[in-house]
Amino acid sequence: MSQDRRRHRSSIREKALDLSLCAAARSARIAGVVLADSRGLLVASSMKGPGAEMLAAAGAVLASTGLMPEFCGPRLPSRIVARKLRHNREVFCLCAAGEPREARTAVRLAGICVKRILRTGG
């Protein structure tokens, strides 16, 4: 894992976030992990396509209210784990789709990396 991590690094903040989320999703063996801002807008993702944006929006609502939004419909898996992450004055949301145990693991792993990247800038 450590050599894989060293090969896949970036000094560009956005790319570093994407790579970290991909690594967390891969390690936890889940469909995807996204980072959203407090409004539910996608910041970084291990996923491609509109599913990532839907997961970001749903995750932000879930992290803020504890309720799964009705707009999710059949496009998103029913098993979503989300948590707030604060950096300076900004509030972000980390969200993972998959089995609850694996999704919680992915969110925990991603949270460690995301905090480091936001703190150091890459």
Give, in degrees to the nearest 5, the angle at Cα 105 between 102 and 107: 110
**Confidence at residue 50, expressed as pLDDT on a 0 to 100 scale:** 87
- Do 28 and 109 contact (CB within 8 A), yes or no? yes
Residue 74's pLDDT is what?
55
Residue with tokens 């989320």: 21
What are the boundaries of each domain within the chain?
Answer: 2-120
Q: What is the pLDDT of residues 69-114, one digit of tens each?
A: 554 555 555 588 888 888 888 899 999 988 889 999 999 999 999 9
Reply yes or no on whether the pLDDT at 64 is more than 60. Answer: yes
- Three-state SS string across the chain, please? CHHHHHHCCCCCHHHHHHHHHHHHHHHHCCCEEEEEECCCCEEEECCCCHHHHHHHHHHHHHHHHCCCCHHHHHHCCCCEEEEEEEECCEEEEEEEECCHHHHHHHHHHHHHHHHHHHHHCC
Structural domain 2-120, CATH architecture: 2-Layer Sandwich (3.30)
Mean of the per-residue pLDDT values of the chain: 82
Q: What are phi and psi of 117, to 5 degrees?
A: -65, -45
Kindly state the average pLDDT of the residues 43-61: 90
